[in-house]
Amino acid sequence: MKKWNAHVTKVLYTQQQIQIRVQEIGAQISRDYDGKNPLMVCVLKGACMFYADLLRSCTIPLEMDFMKVSSYGTATKTSGTVHFTMPLSQNITGRHVILVEDILDTGTTLHAVLPRLRVQQPASLAICALLEKPARRQYPVSLQYSGFSIPDVFVVGYGLDYAGQYRNLPYIGVYTP
């Protein structure tokens, strides 16, 4: 490995494994939301890579929107405080909404985000996360679409960061300080 990613000690999912799973999820969403014109919401920043690939694997009409939420800062543990730094650009009342996340970890982020969306009374609200880490769940959040269930390791790459770094790795790897 090159020096800049020397702390990434193991590849958990290769680029190819990710793409296969993303295609499967896209096909499933396309079947489930045929004729519903879903509004697919990217939870920035971590979900950006997954979101871009997932939407291109969907074969139905859909719309895009973005929100920016953050709780980790520069740490490997959640601060517990969720900062909403960019809201959605539209009202979601009556829309079929699919929230796209990179990872469901403690559930702190989605526990804070979901009530803010539900109050607008969307027609439906589903969550799609590429990764989930069941061992660390603190809030009961359930996923309608889940890519991979992973052990309690700190992962980076494919949008996921440590202190802002490693998001541009094309694979998902384990970060070891």
Q: ω before 2 within 30° of 0 (cis)?
A: no
Q: Which residue is catalytic, options 53, 102, 105, 161?
A: 105
Chain centroid to Cα 67, Å, comes to 12
What is the layout of strands, in order, in the sheet containing 172-175? 8-13, 172-175, 155-156
Nearest approach, Cβ of 93 to ligand PRP (angstroms)?
A: 24
Active site residue 65: no
Please say whether the beta carbons of 18 and 171 come within 8 A: yes
Is residue 147 near ligand PRP by the rule CB under 6 A?
no
Residues 6 or more apart in contact with residue 97 via CB below 8 angstroms:
38, 39, 40, 41, 117, 122, 123, 124, 125, 126
Please, which residue, 58 or 104, has the CB nearer to ligand PRP? 104
Which 42-61 residues touch ligand PRP, going by CB under 6 A?
43, 45-46
Is residue 132 near ligand PRP by the rule CB under 6 A?
no
Interface with ligand PRP: number of residues (CB under 6 A): 17
Please, which residue, 71 or 120, has the CB nearer to ligand PRP? 71
The stretch among 10-18, 49-57, 66-74, 120-128 that binds ligand PRP (CB under 6 A) is 66-74
| Residue selected from 17, 28, 71, 120 as contacting ligand PRP according to rule CB under 6 A | 71
Is residue 106 near ligand PRP by the rule CB under 6 A?
yes
Q: Could you tell me the CA-to-CA distances from 65 to 62, 90, 152 in Å, in that order?
A: 10, 8, 30
State whether residue 41 is helix, strand or coil: strand
Q: Which residue is nearest to ligand PRP (CB)?
A: 46
| Residue selected from 38, 58, 108, 169 as contacting ligand PRP according to rule CB under 6 A | 108
The CA distance from 81 to 175, in Å, is 23
The CA distance from 6 to 109, in Å, is 29
The stretch among 7-15, 16-24, 30-38, 105-113 that binds ligand PRP (CB under 6 A) is 105-113
Catalytic residues: 105
